[in-house]
Amino acid sequence: MSTAPLSLRLTGATVLRDGTLQERSVAMSGGRITKGPLPAVDLSGYLVLPGIVDLHGDAFERHVAPRPDADVPLDMALRATDRDAAANGVTTAWLAQGWSWEGGRRSPDQAEILLRALEGYRPHAMTDLRVQLRCETHTVDTFERLLATVRRHSVDYVVFNNHLPEATTLAETDHEALARRARGFGHAPGAHLRAVATATAQEREVPRYLCRLAEAFDALGVRYGSHDDPDGETRETFSMIGAKICTFPRRRAAAALARAVGDPVLMGAPNVVRGRSLAGGVAARDLIRAGLCDALASDDHYPSLGAAAFRLVDEGLADLPRAWAMISERPAEIMGLADRGRIDYGRRADLAIVNAETRAVEATISGGRLAYLTGDAAARFLTAAGGGLALAAE
């Protein structure tokens, strides 16, 4: 794909702009949406939509470890993740990496390795890949290390998570499930039980730890929230310390509390596509129907983002401008990214080009560069190139 920003105009398509679907052209140059006469690509029969902004994605884990016992080099995994995101219209994505007492691929060690690898890969990336740290609440002893990591790697997004109750329940009731979980983290069952005990011993220190982190994140300009809130009381507690982003609430009460205090609610796009949560929690479509969901994230499946938007349209829960805003404009607003999420003059040229009939992403433009191109859209771009369009501008 091109390594320099395109200078061209997309014509003939239906464009999502200013909250409505319009028949107009989109011009770009220098990586930004612009005006003026430029060489044209005819995209009749296509939708030109804002590039997707994904606030929480686990799909990279499949590229890191195709099998539980088979890791691949991180540069290869990041390249595959980058291409996976681009092939599904994603132009900005946060990789949800654990910072947990559980160890293994969720350990602070692994988080630091991933952040270093991403810094090395970023000059080659076609999409804007970032890292969201999923910080387990019972990691009190890592306070200084976590802040040093956030500063060193300019981490801009952290969510608090608490897997300890689930682990404690398994330790008491289901030793076989506990052993499977331990193996997933690269532990023997006994070592995992010791990690559970160590985390449990920190219980009294956790509230102060979270407040100290919140104060530090505020000073650093880090956005932060919580993940898998089980009830309204938990969400209220996190909101009170400043962890405003409510990610994947397990119950309607948590989402309702977030809405009552003005906190954005994020749900998984695969939840919308399936119609239910695999973990038995609240269905995303029920929250959307009730006006209790602001944005959708890929969770573990990038293709579900666009599919979820169109599913909402088909079921009459939203028109396309509103549904697509849940995966583009609204996530950008939540993260304070004023330069993306919408197609408008001066903003980043982040575009998802979707076949209007098949609803398949056939081209993705990220920062004005072609990050993905296939199908009839590829033929259109190549035809324009044959007529003198430079796909890789100087």
Predicted confidence (pLDDT) per residue in 148-190, tens digit = 999 999 999 999 999 888 888 877 787 777 777 777 777 777 7
Strand order in the sheet with 245-247: 52-57, 90-99, 128-136, 157-161, 223-227, 245-247, 265-268, 295-297
Q: Please, are residues 94 and 60 in contact by the beta-carbon 8 Å criterion?
A: no
User: What DSSP character marks residue 101?
Assistant: T
| pLDDT at position 166 | 82
Q: Answer whether residue 127 shows pLDDT above 80.
A: yes
Please name the fold of domain 52-334.
Answer: TIM Barrel (3.20.20)
Predicted confidence (pLDDT) per residue in 91-114, tens digit = 999 999 999 998 888 999 999 999
For residue 331 the two structure tokens come to 């996530």
Domains of the chain, by residue range, sit at 8-49+343-386, 52-334
pLDDT-derived band of residue 1, with 50, 70 and 90 as boundaries? Answer: very low
Q: What is the mean pLDDT of the chain?
A: 93
Alpha-carbon span 209 to 216, nearest angstrom: 11
pLDDT-derived band of residue 132, with 50, 70 and 90 as boundaries? Answer: very high
pTM: 0.94
Give, for 355, the enclosing helix (H) or strand (E).
Answer: strand 351-355
For 279, residues 6+ apart whose C-beta sits below 8 A from its C-beta are 250
Other residues' Cβ atoms within 10 Å of the Cβ of residue 278: 11
The CATH classification of domain 8-49+343-386, taken from the options 3.40.50.300, 2.30.40.10, 3.40.50.2000, 3.40.190.150: 2.30.40.10
Q: Do domains 8-49+343-386 and 52-334 have the same CATH topology?
A: no
